Amino acid sequence: MHDTERDSTLIESDPYQPDSGGIHPREAAEHMSEAIPRVVETVLKRAEETSEGDGAPIDVDERSSSAQRATPVDAVAFSRGPGLGPCLRIVGTAARALAGALDVPLVGVNHMVAHLEIGRHQSGFDSPVCLNASGANAHLLGYHNGRYRVLGETMDTGVGNAIDKFTRHVGWTHPGGPKVERAAADGEYIDLPYTVKGMDFSFSGIMSAAKDASDEGEAVEDICFSLQEHVFGMLTEVAERALSLTGTDELVLGGGVGQNQRLREMLTSMCEERGAKFYAPDPRFLRDNAGMIAVLGAKMYAAGDTLEIEDSAIDPNFRPDQVPVTWRGETESVARVVDGDGAVRGAEATVEFDGDRVVKRRLPKAYRHPELDARLRRERTVAEARLTSEARRAGVPTPLVRDVDVRESTITFQRVGDADLAATLDPDAVADVGRHLAALHRVGIVHGDPTTRNVRVAERATAAGRTFLIDFGLGFHTGHVEDHAMDLHVFEQSIEGTAADPDPLLEAFETGYAADGDEDVLARLRGVESRGRYR
């Protein structure tokens, strides 16, 4: 039950708990079909006892199987997806029946947008970036041009499910996350893989390495400690990249994994360093819950965003960027213009402009374990200096590297361009980026982070060209079509997150790449897109 007058949200639930292993969709759906009548009856009786007549939506959520109500009931809200198909169908049927019996409108909520909106609602933030970290999902959302945009996401599995794969391997019962958190308290650091690709990330490599370490006799406490340091370090890093790209200074956390204290500490530390605001809801609003569905349902109902029964089908792959946002104002995150003299702080480094020179310093990150932080700053400084020069020799416009100090994680570059591509988006410049990436891929170089912030554009073309690629710190050598396609995906995701009308720009980019690049890479790009958790 959500009461907009008193701003109180009451949650009544009877969640499914598997006897062993992970969640079994059929068993969960069977449990929900039995639990829903009890929960609805309980919450309606409670609403009658506590309400003095203020209306609010009932919610039936696909995980908690709960229903919330105040008297009289204004609407019934339910989660249309994403989620497990059998569970969504049970809840959708129950919500339609309840709305019909009460003769009130039906509100269909996107589950992942609800995670964001409960944080935005409780924090009072205007337009935060949201990090959703749950069992089946992990992604970053920002608001732009009337929709929530996916700024970055896992390319294989959700963060909670990834951790559960390791805990099942060592014989621990579901859920694994709290057990890892407890064991980590007695652990020490060991090196594991760390995979960030722009604002996307991958957990498969680190989980395989963790299993191998266990099989080789490494102490499970040390593995758990290092899993947290690496996995949550990746999530915090991409959250900071999203703040830097969008220019917002507000971050909210969503999802059940957000209950982990170490993740919350990292995000708090990162935001404090940036001067940004951070909000994490109470744990009951982080794990899957009916309250967040009710809160968003109330906002959608107030905006007149309701469903006809025939249009209320569930969608297990319901992406948050498919939802027209009808219930909030126009305040949004906008890509910053990075130009002028003085110092600019990005996600990873400060950049100081001094005439025709640019000094980039990779800053220590207090949220990361010192050994991991030193390793990443060293590796990325070396990679950026080397690949920037190699790309230039391959005919790709990049700044000259004038000095490198690996010990201080500092590089001095030639200053290029007049503004970031994010501030000057046009099809010709975007097509140039496609051609530049094709040239890199021909010589086996992956940029690693080709976003609209990492392309500089000159007002007039020079002998080198008009557009310049910068920031090769996540780059590496490979001839693999998968890695090349990932480069394209990262760039297109940054276009979709910052452009008012991305389609012409995406077409220009792919046309530019096709002119000089491998058609197999473009074909693989479609497969990379389909692996996103909501596609």
* Tokens found for residue 195: 């995979």
Residues 167-198 pLDDT 10s: 999 999 888 999 999 999 999 999 999 999 98
Among the three residues 375, 390, 414, which one is the final residue of a domain in this structure?
414
For residue 27, what pLDDT is reported? 84
* Tokens found for residue 303: 């905006």
Radius of gyration of the chain from its Cα atoms, rounded to whole angstroms: 24
Quote the CA–CA distance of 66 and 252 in Å, as a whole number: 25
Would you place residue 60 in the very low, low, confident or very high pLDDT band (cuts 50, 70, 90)? Answer: low
For residue 5, what pLDDT is reported? 41
Quote the CA–CA distance of 186 and 222 in Å, as a whole number: 8
Does residue 1 surpass a pLDDT of 90? no
Quote the CA–CA distance of 203 and 193 in Å, as a whole number: 9
Same domain, 160 and 263: yes
The amino acid at residue 525 is L
Strands 277-279 and 342-345: unpaired
Residues 338/421, Cβ–Cβ less than 8 Å: no
Same domain, 105 and 226: no
For residue 19, what pLDDT is reported? 64
- Domain CATH code at residue 20: 3.30.420.40
Quote the CA–CA distance of 68 and 293 in Å, as a whole number: 10
For residue 303, what pLDDT is reported? 96
Residues 57/297, Cβ–Cβ less than 8 Å: yes
Same domain, 280 and 291: no
For residue 2, what pLDDT is reported? 56
Same domain, 95 and 128: no
Quote the CA–CA distance of 224 and 235 in Å, as a whole number: 16
Q: Is residue 456 part of a domain?
A: yes
Beta bridge partners of 476: 446
Instruction: State the chain's mean pLDDT as an integer.
Output: 89
Same domain, 47 and 57: yes
Does residue 462 surpass a pLDDT of 80? no
For residue 368, what pLDDT is reported? 98
525 class by beta-carbon count within 10 Å (0-12 exposed, 13-18 middle, 19+ buried): buried
First to last CA, the chain: 31
Same domain, 170 and 102: no
For residue 337, what pLDDT is reported? 44
The amino acid at residue 80 is R
Same domain, 400 and 513: no
Residues 407-419 pLDDT 10s: 999 999 999 999 9
Same domain, 236 and 385: no
For residue 424, what pLDDT is reported? 85
19-25: average pLDDT: 69
Could you confirm whether 503 is annotated as catalytic? Answer: no
- Per the structure, the complete domain to which residue 208 belongs is given by 118-285
- For residue 145, CA distances in Å to 329, 333, 497, 499, 508 come to 11, 9, 9, 8, 21
Q: Which of 432, 449, 483, 487 is catalytic?
A: 449
Q: Is residue 331 part of a domain?
A: no
Same domain, 58 and 153: no
Would you place residue 7 in the very low, low, confident or very high pLDDT band (cuts 50, 70, 90)? Answer: low
- Domain CATH code at residue 474: 1.10.510.10
- For residue 121, CA distances in Å to 202, 423, 503, 512 come to 30, 30, 32, 42
Q: Is residue 309 part of a domain?
A: yes
Does residue 160 surpass a pLDDT of 80? yes
Among the three residues 392, 414, 436, which one is the final residue of a domain in this structure?
414
Does residue 49 surpass a pLDDT of 80? no
Would you place residue 50 in the very low, low, confident or very high pLDDT band (cuts 50, 70, 90)? Answer: low
516-523: average pLDDT: 95
Among the three residues 414, 448, 467, which one is the final residue of a domain in this structure?
414
- Within 362-426, residue ranges assigned H as helices are 370-393
Of 178-182, 264-268, 463-467, the poorest mean pLDDT is in 463-467
Q: Is residue 466 part of a domain?
A: yes
Beta strands in 256-356 (DSSP E): 277-279, 342-345, 349-354
Residues 296-322 pLDDT 10s: 999 999 999 999 999 999 999 898 888
Residues 222-262 pLDDT 10s: 999 999 999 999 999 999 999 988 889 999 999 999 999 99
Strands 2-3 and 8-9: antiparallel
Position of tokens 């064991």? 183
Preceding omega of 82 cis (within 30 degrees of 0): yes
User: Which of 195, 255, 198, 265 lies closest to 230 in space, CA to CA?
Assistant: 195
- Domain CATH code at residue 392: 3.30.200.20
- For residue 266, CA distances in Å to 99, 307, 453 come to 43, 40, 24
Backbone φ, ψ for residue 138 (5° rounding): -160, 120
Quote the CA–CA distance of 311 and 534 in Å, as a whole number: 20
Encode burial over 102-123: b for 16+ CB neighbours within 10 A, e otherwise.
bebbbbbbbbbbbbbbbbbbbb
Share of the chain above pLDDT 90, in %: 69
Quote the CA–CA distance of 369 and 372 in Å, as a whole number: 5
Does residue 79 surpass a pLDDT of 80? yes
Q: Is residue 337 part of a domain?
A: no
For residue 458, what pLDDT is reported? 93
Same domain, 278 and 293: no
124-143: average pLDDT: 92
User: Which of 533, 442, 427 lies closest to 479 in space, CA to CA?
Assistant: 442
Same domain, 142 and 232: yes
Does residue 15 surpass a pLDDT of 90? no
Quote the CA–CA distance of 335 and 526 in Å, as a whole number: 26
Quote the CA–CA distance of 271 and 454 in Å, as a whole number: 22
Encode burial over 369-391: b for 16+ CB neighbours within 10 A, e otherwise.
beebbeebbeebbebbbbbbbbb
Q: Look at residue 196 and give its three-state secondary structure.
A: strand
* Torsion sign over Cα 270, 365, 476, 189: negative
Same domain, 224 and 253: yes
pTM: 0.89
Would you place residue 357 in the very low, low, confident or very high pLDDT band (cuts 50, 70, 90)? Answer: very high
Q: Is residue 334 part of a domain?
A: no
Backbone φ, ψ for residue 214 (5° rounding): -65, -45
Quote the CA–CA distance of 256 and 64 in Å, as a whole number: 13
Give me the number of domains the chain comprises: 4
Beta strands in 363-453 (DSSP E): 401-405, 410-414, 419-420, 445-446
19-24: average pLDDT: 67
User: Which of 32, 7, 138 lies closest to 88 in space, CA to CA?
Assistant: 32
Q: Is residue 535 part of a domain?
A: no
Looking at per-residue pLDDT, the higher value among 347 and 303 belongs to: 303
Q: Is residue 325 part of a domain?
A: no
